[in-house]
Amino acid sequence: MAEQADTLVTPDMIRNKGVWGREVVSYPVSVSDIRKWAIAVYWPHTPPRLFWDEQYARTTRWGGIIAPQDFNPFAWPVKSPTLPEFAMPREGGKGRRGMNGGQTDTYFVPMRPGDVIRARTRLRDWNERPTRLGLTLFIYTETEWWNQDNQLVKRHIQNFIRY
């Protein structure tokens, strides 16, 4: 008979719940980075002028070029925010199988040329319940991005499912 775990919640999870990890910092965002990102995202169509035409962008409510909301300043070779070990699936055994349960992104101020983005991640919460897969743990991590003016740029909630 298969071994039944009482809980998949680890002491490490309990210890780290709500604790922000080490911050990582992006390179300064450049107009070229924004243009290239927009071209890639909108390909084969022309991206909105707000992302590449400075003269046009100055006439908008933003007063200049901004980055698309999905722009990632950590896509370049800089150390990215890392996920906590307990969120990552491991091979074999109860609670060691896993899958991505989805994500929710909330956007605040836009990123602009010259911005330097700081990111930090924490274990936000979890819940555990029986499912058809057996005892299942739903883990929620939270990542925040802030600019150099201490303005919140983005909040990313990621759900990991372990069973």
Closest residue by Cα to residue 158 from 144, 143, 148, 137 = 143
Angstrom CA distances, 109 to 47, 52, 58, 155, 159, stand at 20, 18, 17, 11, 24
Residue 112 has pLDDT above 60, yes or no: yes
pTM exceeds 0.75, yes or no: yes
Asked whether residue 153 falls in the same domain as residue 126, the answer is: yes
| Residues 126 and 95 occupy one common structural domain | yes
Read off the CATH number of the domain in which 19 is found: 3.10.129
Pair 160, 85 in one domain = yes
What CA–CA distance (Å, rounded) separates 57 from 54?
Answer: 5
pLDDT score of 91? 52
Alpha helices, DSSP H, located in the chain = 11-16, 31-42, 54-58
Residues 96 and 132 grouped into a single domain:
yes
- Which of 52, 70, 88 is at the close of a domain? 70
Residues 45 and 118 in one domain: no
Q: Give the model confidence (pLDDT) of 28-55 as tens digits.
A: 999 999 999 999 999 999 999 999 999 9
Q: Are residues 25 and 35 in the same domain?
A: no
Cα–Cα distance measured from residue 134 to residue 1, given in angstroms and rounded to the nearest whole number: 14
With residue 163 as reference, give the H or E element that holds it. Answer: none
CA distance 90 to 158: 18
